[in-house]
Amino acid sequence: MNYYAGVDLGGTNIKAGIVDESGKVVCKDLTPTNAGRPYQEVIKDIADLLNKVIAKSGIDKSAIKSIGVGNPGTCDIPNGIVIYASNIDFYNVPMRDEMHKYFDVPVYIDNDANCAALGEFYALDGDVSDMVFITLGTGVGGGIIINKRLYTGYNGTAAEFGHMMLKQGGIECSCGTKGCWENYASVTALIRITKEYAEKYPDSAVAERCKDGVSGRTAFEMAKMGDSGAKSIVDEWIGYVATGVVSVINLFQPQYVVIGGAISKEGNYLLDPIRAHQMKNAYSQIPNHTQIAVAKLGNDAGLVGSAFLGKGEI
Amino acid sequence: MNYYAGVDLGGTNIKAGIVDESGKVVCKDLTPTNAGRPYQEVIKDIADLLNKVIAKSGIDKSAIKSIGVGNPGTCDIPNGIVIYASNIDFYNVPMRDEMHKYFDVPVYIDNDANCAALGEFYALDGDVSDMVFITLGTGVGGGIIINKRLYTGYNGTAAEFGHMMLKQGGIECSCGTKGCWENYASVTALIRITKEYAEKYPDSAVAERCKDGVSGRTAFEMAKMGDSGAKSIVDEWIGYVATGVVSVINLFQPQYVVIGGAISKEGNYLLDPIRAHQMKNAYSQIPNHTQIAVAKLGNDAGLVGSAFLGKGEI
């Protein structure tokens, strides 16, 4: 059996794990990132964590075919360099070369959303060759699989789904333009819509509930309990998600669109209205249409995907 | 030297040609489609035209390695079937099998926009692997090249760029939704914007000029002659084009976005503001960014691309 090592480098924690050929996480562990330190220190911690996980797994080091590192930022993938990852203060960090000081297997890098996409791709059933992964969280991100491989564009920065225009001239985006999809379809946007509703209807049950704080779950929980105001919030937000998903389908027509992020735990309560919107509004009139599914791997997607960066390469 | 035969089947004319390995059209001719006839008659005319072109070219039939047919509609590419092409009344037409009654070389089919994309791809200089082609005409269409091959999605209907959302809730689209890009960035939209301006400012030079009829060139011609009203029309329209192009770049990050359609003859007058918009608004902050260019082949793009459907396949 071949094994692949993966590292999910985040703003808060470094996660490392060993994944077998089938995509099963054999062993994993984590350590704080302590972001802001020189990259050499962070990468030494990655190496120490990885060695610890390998030792704990009992797998012979020679069975580990490659190491993949998922990074929270933009990467020069062919050269193994993290160009920038501002939340961990990494700028032009030679990740691959630094990792090679500790390990002599091939090292691959990519960004975290692409790694999560690859992980979710390998978790799909059946013979799938094209998939788009969309993650709904603080922002909207994702990854593209074409012909069973990550498609990252000419410069490694493709799949910025959050910055696909949804409503030109709309809400101002962190990127400087107005109306990007992530200002409507992120969980941040769902929270904003919930708060706006509470302000507009201060006597509503939603407003009462919001006094205890608002999360992405607030409106979903209340809608499922039958509150019509919460239902209108959820409908509006899912409408924005669905509109962008239909754009993605009209462009890519993948076999699967997989939706990730914590909110994807809503399952069919989230997906059914998106599917209805697809059936009504997607452009293609032919019967074999894109399947929409929720992510399966949850927090392990980045780990499995980073490990599998080397799968098929070697 | 190998040669490839291409057919560009349109609503008005059937064009056929022989293309050499370098992409040069060696010989071509056309005949009316006379749309509405049984497909067997149309395809017999395709075969007759192709045989005529082959004879005229003086090329030995054995040097022609494949035939490609570009169709004005949705295709089942692997099975060689035109699923529907309403403007020529083709529904589930077994194009490949019918063509094989006349020719015993491999026959490939795809839709016309994909063929034009492939033609323009082969016309690019340098070693390019990823390109997005966008054609601005009555609607907005296009094609996607990934890894030097057409990417047509799981079901052959990808690259419907015109039906990417630009302004949710905006202008009603023929597809049934509101705000699709083609309602803002097509030449049809440019004409609408020009007419709206003329109605709003009946004493303007634009309104005076519109009395003689309006085309996609009207506002461009007047803007270039210094008319500020026409300039505002062109600016608005190019703004819509550019916003969609930036979405495409944020998703695909191809080496090239190539813009086709008759309006692309405006060259840098069209491209420079799009490039400025890209520099300001595209998400990626890394230096190696997508090049934006106009199409080179014009009306021959579909012919060259359809011929080259077989290139690399055999």
The DSSP call for residue B79 is T
Average pLDDT over residues B218-230: 98
Q: Please provide the average confidence, as pLDDT, over all residues in chain B.
A: 95
Reply yes or no on whether the pLDDT at B1 is more than 90: no
Where would I find the H helices in chain A? 39-57, 95-100, 112-122, 182-185, 187-200, 205-210, 216-224, 228-252, 268-281, 301-307
Note down the domain range covering B218: 131-295
- How far apart (Å, rounded) are the C-alpha atoms in residues A213 and A194? 11
Q: What is the mean pLDDT of residues B302-314?
A: 87
pLDDT, residue A286, reads: 77
* Binary contact (B175, A243; C-beta < 8 A): no
Q: What is the reported pLDDT for B314?
A: 44
Nearest CB neighbour to B251, from listed A161, A168, A281: A161
| pLDDT tens figures, A56-80 | 999 999 999 999 999 999 999 999 9
Residues A166 and A277 in one domain: yes
Q: Is the domain of A105 the same as that of A71?
A: yes
User: Pairing state of beta strands B107-111 and B64-71?
Assistant: parallel
Same domain, A258 and A173: yes
For residues B144 and B267, membership in a common domain is answered with yes
Q: Which of A155, A249, A291 best probes binding to B when mutated, by most B CB atoms within 10 angstroms? A: A155
Two tokens at B215? 């085309």
The H or E element containing residue B238 is helix B228-252
Note whether B234 and B271 are same-domain residues.
yes
Identify the pLDDT of residue B286: 77
Q: Which region, left, alpha or beta, applies to residue B81 given φ > 0 means left and ψ of -120 to 50 means alpha?
A: beta
Q: pTM here?
A: 0.95
pLDDT confidence bin for B313, thresholds 50/70/90: low
Whether residue B91 is found in the same domain as residue B222: no
Q: Is A295 helix (H, G, I), strand (E, B) or coil?
A: coil
Instruction: Pick B160's closest partner by Cβ from A251, A280, A288.
Output: A251
Answer yes or no: do A165 and A254 share one domain: yes
> Same domain, yes or no, for A215 and A106?
no
Is there a single domain that holds both residue A158 and residue A240? yes
Q: Say if the Cβ atoms of B163 and A74 lie within 8 Å.
A: no
CB pairs < 8 Å spanning A and B:
142
B21 and B57 fall within a common domain: yes
Amino acid at B307: A
d(Cα A201, Cα A207) in Å, to the nearest integer? 7
Instruction: Give whole-number Cα distances, A141 to A72, A179, A186, A192, in Å.
Output: 11, 16, 9, 19
Q: CATH no. for residue B35?
A: 3.30.420.40
Contacts of A291 (CB under 8 A, 6+ apart): A255, A256, A257
Q: Does A102 touch chain B (CB under 8 A)?
A: no
- Please indicate whether residue A254 or residue A176 has the higher confidence score (pLDDT): A254
B128-161 pLDDT tens trace: 999 999 999 999 999 999 999 999 999 999 999 9
Could you tell me which chain B residue has the CA closest to the CA of A287? B155
Work out the angle between the directed axes of helices B228-252 and B187-200 (0-180°, nearest 10).
Answer: 150
Rg (CA), chain A: 20
**Contact call for B283 and A153, based on CB within 8 A:** no
CB A284 within 8 A of CB A251: no
Question: What's the structural domain count of chain B?
Answer: 2
A269 and A156 part of one domain = yes
> Is A157 at the interface with chain B, CB within 8 A?
yes
Cα–Cα dist A24/B269, whole Å? 55
pLDDT at A243 over 80: yes
Question: pLDDT by residue (tens digit) across B254-270?
Answer: 999 999 999 999 999 99
Q: Are residues A285 and A141 in the same domain?
A: yes
With beta carbons under 8 A apart, name residues in chain A contacting B157: 253, 283-284, 286
pLDDT mean over A294-302? 94
Residue A233 burial (10 A CB sphere; 0-12, 13-18, 19+): buried
